[in-house]
Amino acid sequence: MIEESKENSLKYFLIQSVASVIFLASILNQSFSFLIPFALLIKIGAAPFHMWLVSISKSMSWKVLSLLMTFQKIGPLLGLAMLSSVSHLSWLMVNMSSFLLMLVYYVTYLAILYFAVILLQQTPMYSLAQMNSNAS
């Protein structure tokens, strides 16, 4: 168990480091600026760059996983909000007009995720396949 934890910690560190290098390189080299959103999506663990998060979360406790899924995403989420396009223009306008509304939006996101993690922690499930068998 400790070896798997060490391996996952190293995996997390390496993936975050590579994403940071991509992010910094794309900022420094203007011709690669299209890579900035990709680097932020890798850091967040969003699809299609989410497989590292799935493989790491298999051996994590719920407390560590909830920290990983909430507080570690603050910076990249704010970075993506600054880069958002027409589909998120309304959120960007609201965020520009009121810091309080942006804070309410993020706290709501954190609360929903926190309670989902608590709910999953209370159930004796270890994979999504068990969720279907528990429903019947």
The predicted-structure confidence for 33-53, as pLDDT tens digits, reads as follows 788 888 988 998 888 888 888
Q: Where are the domains of the chain?
A: 2-128
What percentage of the chain carries pLDDT values higher than 70?
83
Rounded Cα gap, residues 16 and 31, in angstroms = 22
pLDDT at 86: 46
The predicted-structure confidence for 117-131, as pLDDT tens digits, reads as follows 888 888 877 766 776
pLDDT at 135: 52
pLDDT at 72: 83
Measured in whole angstroms, the distance separating CA 23 from the mean position of its chain's CA atoms is 16
Q: With 60 as the cut, is the pLDDT of residue 88 above it?
A: no
> Are 80 and 44 in contact, with CB atoms under 8 Å apart?
yes
Band (22; pLDDT cuts 50, 70, 90): very high
> Are 120 and 110 in contact, with CB atoms under 8 Å apart?
no
Q: Looking at this protein, which amino acid is placed at residue 45? A: G
**Rounded to two decimals, what is the model's pTM?**
0.62
Alpha-carbon dihedral sign for residues 39, 113, 12, 123: negative
